[in-house]
């Protein structure tokens, strides 16, 4: 049973719903499996939990970068 895990920014429910549907459809086609066999986990990660170059994304955003 394929498992797809996506980590990304916080989004609204409609965006998450569409992403889950699209990923499921494509994986189903690629693996020639029924959509019911595809698992998708969407993990939302806020800018206060991600850093680039040792600096939190939220700090970069606050500084206007």
Mean pLDDT by 10 residues, the chain (65 residues): 95 97 98 98 95 93 83
What pLDDT shows up at residue 62? Answer: 85
The Cα angle at residue 51 between residues 49 and 53, in degrees rounded to 5: 170
The Cα angle at residue 54 between residues 46 and 59, in degrees rounded to 5: 50
CATH of 3-62, one of 3.30.429.10, 3.30.465.10, 3.40.140.10, 3.30.56.10: 3.30.429.10
Q: How would you class 38 by CB atoms within 10 Å of its CB: exposed for 0-12, middle for 13-18, buried for 19 or more? A: buried
CA 54 to mean position of chain CA atoms: 22
What pLDDT shows up at residue 65? Answer: 75
């Amino acid at each position: 049973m394929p498992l797809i895990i996506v980590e990304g920014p916080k989004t609204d429910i409609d965006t998450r719903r569409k992403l889950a549907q699209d990923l499921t459809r494509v994986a189903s086609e690629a693996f020639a499996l029924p959509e019911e066999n595809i698992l998708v986990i969407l993990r939302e990660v806020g800018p206060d939990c991600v850093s680039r170059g040792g600096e939190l994304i939220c700090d970069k955003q606050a500084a206007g970068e």
